[in-house]
Amino acid sequence: MANPSDILKKYWGYTQFRPLQEDIIQSVSNGKDTLALLPTGGGKSICFQVPALLREGVCIVVTPLIALMKDQVANLQKRNIPAVAIYAGMYYQDVERLLEEARRGKYKFLYVSPERLQSKRFLEYCDGMPVNLLAIDEAHCISQWGYDFRPAYLEIAAIRSYFPDVPLLALTASATPRVQQDICEKLLMKQPAIFTKSFARHNLSYSVIEEDNKPEKLKHILQRVQGSAIVYCRNRKRTREVADMLEQAGIAATYYHAGLTGEERAVRQELWLNSRIRVMACTNAFGMGIDKPDVRVVIHYDATDGLEAYYQEAGRGGRDEKKAYAVLMYQQQELKEMVKMMELQFPEVGEIREVYQCLVNYLQVPVGSAEGIYYDFDINDFVRKFELNITITYSALKILEQEGILQLSESVFMPSRVEFVISKQTLYDFTDMQPAYDSLLQTLLRTYEGIFDTPVPVYEKQVARLMRKPESQVIEWLQQLHQRRILKYSQRKEEPQLCFTQERVSAQHLRIDTARIKGRMQVYKERLDAMLDYIRNKDVCRTQMLVQYFGEKNTTACGTCDVCIEKKKRPLEGKEAEAIAVQLMAQLQAEPMEWTEVRNRLLSVKEEALLEVMQFLIAEGRAGRDAMGRVHLL
């Protein structure tokens, strides 16, 4: 019988696990509910993929990011491991087919978005599905005290009743003690085993720089630190500006944000992953699930509003355990704006109702309808047409999502669909009268099996290549055939999706829990205050600040962050110097000693500090050196 190491070697080619991975796998294999906190790059996916492969049945993996689940499914399939993903916006027939195949044991991994768990159809297929493990990625999303609360995560506990003896593994890269407790409670975890890898990254040097001229400072950093880099920016416009500025300076760069098409994002990501582009200027849409080990510097061009997100993003540097740098740049005005923005993040109830009313007008949704229906939704077009503030609008939509009224999904790629709506005989008659379409129709029939019986995904690029025609021409012909009612052509889409999770009600009857919103606002304020403290801090080691925020105690100073480096340059303060002097004089009470012996006895004191105090004692006439160079008291 295979063991975890055999599986790791067979499918991933590794000979040993990373720290804590094997312990987590063993806990899950023993049937225990388990919470694993592994910082970015800690290898979370291995922790559920290996134990799932050791057992018969399918592992259900819940993750909120469509791009991430697609990436993981593709990686598993490359290793000949059967895996599939089901997410918001997919065609109904495809979802039914994949769920039926999963129930029949065709797949080892079934990735689902949390919204899917609320579907009655999904729950029907759960009955009798041979599930061996429930894996909940980004588990902090279940806590309303977390920085990325998703109401759909609260439904996860409901499916546990379908698999009462199946262990649950919750994974996250960053969660405060309060959020950790909330995860365990909300997921109904029974006496969970909790594994936490230290949040300290000893190869990562943190720095915070107040800088008026950010463009010049950015170029200076990239000229001094060679290798791959990520530059995080506050908004989409800034990513383009930064990339253009770096290109003009001769530094190979591109930009990435959620507003680009799926194809554009994939191409740019691939160029960066293969080191053909050195710098990726991006919003926080970039990075989740990206495993590039040799990133040498992560620069935050703009400050973030919380340490959780900052820690995750900065942690994408130095995954190869070699020296890397995390740099945050800020301006005083920026910090003031972050505080002011809090009001926009939590609009008044009246503003929320106004956004809701504009939304249902924009989508033309009548009262009493729309539950469970997905709409293409372009927020920029929406705010432009209704002359709304983009920040207040987005915040209002997030609150409506957190209140369980609607759901927002990221951009999804839905391939085009073609379905013939006439008989074969009618089609033959049509091609006789309209021979110009014959080549296209023959290509469709030869390439896509079953196209006469069911709607099938069609890729215009593939058809164009087979026909040796421009893609635009193929699309135009398909549209014409659709208008002539020869076939039904649903063109591909990549827009974000919006879905109402309950019947549309009038704006005045909208139920909004103001007390709960105030609670979230207080948590947000605490998170923002912690971020501002980190930025303004000049005295405490940055690694110590970060790990203490996540509940880790007794971490030693890193010695490599900007605060630690600056401390080495500063003269010792009175109390610190006096404490070292007491230790030093206690060692010299008995007899003169060689300096190396003194040093060995006081290893807990930094050598520079010890030397400084010794020189002070000699200058004060309280200590000296004898003819043999030994140190002694006077």
Kindly report, residue by residue over 582-607, the tens digit of the pLDDT. 888 888 887 888 877 877 888 777 77
Q: DSSP state, 634?
A: -
Other CB atoms closer than 10 Å to residue 492's CB: what's the count?
15
Q: What is the chain's alpha carbon radius of gyration, rounded to the nearest angstrom? A: 30
Decide if 175 contacts 37 (C-beta within 8 A).
yes
Q: What is the pLDDT of residue 573?
A: 65
- Sign of the Cα pseudo-torsion (513, 515, 518, 520, in order): negative
Low-confidence ranges of the chain (pLDDT < 70): 1, 41-42, 88-89, 288-289, 410-414, 494, 570-573, 619, 627
Q: What is the pLDDT of residue 285?
A: 82
Angle ∠(553,169,37) on CA atoms, nearest 5: 20
Q: What is the pLDDT of residue 1?
A: 59
Closest CA to 156 of 111, 130, 187, 192: 187
Q: What is the pLDDT of residue 288?
A: 67
Write the burial class of residue 40 (CB in 10 Å: 0-12 exposed, 13-18 middle, 19+ buried).
Answer: buried
| pTM value surpassing 0.75 | yes
Cβ contacts of 555-560, under 8 Å, gap ≥ 24: 555/198, 555/200, 558/200, 558/202, 558/205, 558/206, 560/202, 560/205
Q: What is the pLDDT of residue 582?
A: 83
Q: Where are the domains of the chain?
A: 4-196, 204-330, 338-412+495-523, 416-490, 571-633
CATH second-level architecture of 571-633? Answer: Orthogonal Bundle (1.10)
Q: State the maximum Cα–Cα separation within the chain, in Å, rounded to a whole number.
A: 115
Angle ∠(159,161,165) on CA atoms, nearest 5: 110
Residue type at position 116? R
Q: What is the pLDDT of residue 543?
A: 94
> What 3-state DSSP class applies to 585?
helix
**CA atoms of 55 and 560, how far apart (whole Å):** 45
> What 3-state DSSP class applies to 179?
helix
Q: What is the pLDDT of residue 354?
A: 96
> What 3-state DSSP class applies to 324?
strand
CA 154 to each of CA 157, 185, 191: distance values in angstroms, whole numbers, following the listed order: 7, 11, 19
Give the pairing type, strands 34-37 and 168-172.
parallel
Other CB atoms closer than 10 Å to residue 623's CB: what's the count?
20
Other CB atoms closer than 10 Å to residue 294's CB: what's the count?
13
Q: Do domains 4-196 and 204-330 have the same CATH topology?
A: yes
Q: What is the pLDDT of residue 412?
A: 60
Q: What is the pLDDT of residue 630?
A: 81
Which residues, other chains included, contact 143 with Cβ-Cβ below 8 Å and sequence gap of 6+?
Answer: 149, 175, 178, 179, 182, 183, 186
pLDDT in tens, 534-549: 999 998 999 999 999 9
Cβ contacts of 389-393, under 8 Å, gap ≥ 24: 389/344, 391/341, 391/344, 391/345, 392/344, 392/347, 392/351, 392/355, 393/355
Closest CA to 40 of 315, 321, 407: 315
**CA atoms of 402 and 512, how far apart (whole Å):** 10
Closest CA to 292 of 271, 263, 307, 265: 271
CATH 1.10.10.10 fits 338-412+495-523, yes or no: yes
Q: What is the pLDDT of residue 369?
A: 85
CATH of 4-196, one of 3.40.50.300, 3.30.390.10, 3.30.70.330, 3.40.190.10: 3.40.50.300
Q: What is the pLDDT of residue 231?
A: 98
CATH second-level architecture of 204-330? Answer: 3-Layer(aba) Sandwich (3.40)
Other CB atoms closer than 10 Å to residue 215's CB: what's the count?
14
Which token pair is 511? Answer: 């139920």
**CA atoms of 37 and 312, how far apart (whole Å):** 12
